[in-house]
């Protein structure tokens, strides 16, 4: 299906105007960024007031899946088809230029525009597993499945990746003219996300940490 979708950043609303050289049009890069992230920020406007909601999500082909409470007025607005903007940003490093103005960060970011659709029935059940598998790989078969009450209380939304943009900043600083001789260190400092040692809760007695958890990496 990706071949039928517009190139990222190709619509008037998604064309990158500021730092356009950081634009990426490769959907493989788009997918890789979404697959690496865990949290997205979703915009909602209710009664003229904008809100930004943090959500756990997963990419499912050419769409993003996320869920929330059916009792949330913000999510109910998304469920009616309100326009939204979803963003995912990964921070890869700090860029140290020889001026504050040119100092920055290295990042990978995705912005998606559109309207959500509500998933129901088998598609909803599958989407909940897709989200779980993205956040907690191989965990689904090891835990209690959702009850009908829990599923009914959960609103699952899908947002198409049809209209989106991708920006990537990487490497060292670009110094302003004349700053090359300023006597300060320049370069970049990578930032890496790592998972710590699993900590058991009070219900664990002699159960070892599952092998699939030991295999998780960031």
- Given pLDDT bands bounded at 50, 70 and 90, which one contains residue 21? confident
Q: What's the gap between Cα 49 and its chain centre?
A: 23
Answer yes or no: is 184 within a domain. Answer: no
Answer yes or no: is 79 within a domain. Answer: yes
Answer yes or no: is 122 within a domain. Answer: yes
| Distance separating alpha carbons of residues 211 and 218, to the nearest angstrom | 16
Number of domains in the chain: 1
- Residue 7 to residues 19, 28, 61, 82: CA-CA distances in angstroms? 18, 11, 15, 24
Answer yes or no: is 181 within a domain. Answer: no
What are the pLDDT digits (tens) for 180-202? 999 999 999 999 999 999 999 99
Answer yes or no: is 180 within a domain. Answer: no
Answer yes or no: is 37 within a domain. Answer: yes
In this structure, what CATH number is given to the domain that contains residue 94?
A: 2.30.110.10
Answer yes or no: is 75 within a domain. Answer: yes
Q: Which domain holds residue 104?
A: 2-175+192-214
DSSP 15-33: ---TTGGGB---HHHHHHH
What are the pLDDT digits (tens) for 54-110? 999 999 999 999 999 998 888 888 999 999 999 999 999 999 999 999 999 999 999
Answer yes or no: is 187 within a domain. Answer: no
């Amino acid at each position: 299906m990706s071949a039928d979708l517009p190139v990222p950043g190709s619509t008037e609303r998604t064309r990158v105007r500021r730092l356009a050289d950081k634009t990426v049009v490769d959907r493989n890069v788009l997918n890789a960024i979404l697959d690496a992230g865990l949290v997205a920020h979703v915009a909602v406007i209710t009664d003229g007031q904008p809100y930004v909601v943090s959500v756990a999500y997963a990419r499912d082909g050419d769409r993003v899946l996320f869920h929330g409470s059916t009792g949330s007025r913000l999510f109910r607005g998304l469920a009616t088809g309100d326009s939204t903007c979803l963003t995912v940003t990964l921070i890869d490093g700090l860029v140290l230029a020889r001026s504050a103005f040119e100092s920055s960060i290295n990042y990978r970011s995705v912005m998606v525009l559109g309207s959500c659709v509500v998933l129901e029935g088998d598609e909803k059940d599958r989407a909940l597993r897709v989200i779980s598998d993205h956040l907690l790989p191989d965990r689904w078969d090891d835990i209690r499945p959702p009850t009908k009450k829990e599923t009914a209380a959960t609103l699952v939304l899908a947002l198409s990746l049809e209209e989106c943009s991708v920006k990537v900043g990487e490497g060292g600083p670009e110094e302003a003219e004349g700053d090359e001789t300023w006597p300060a260190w320049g370069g970049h400092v990578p930032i890496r996300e790592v998972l710590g040692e699993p900590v058991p809760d009070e219900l664990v007695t002699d159960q070892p940490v599952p092998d699939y958890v030991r295999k998780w990496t960031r």
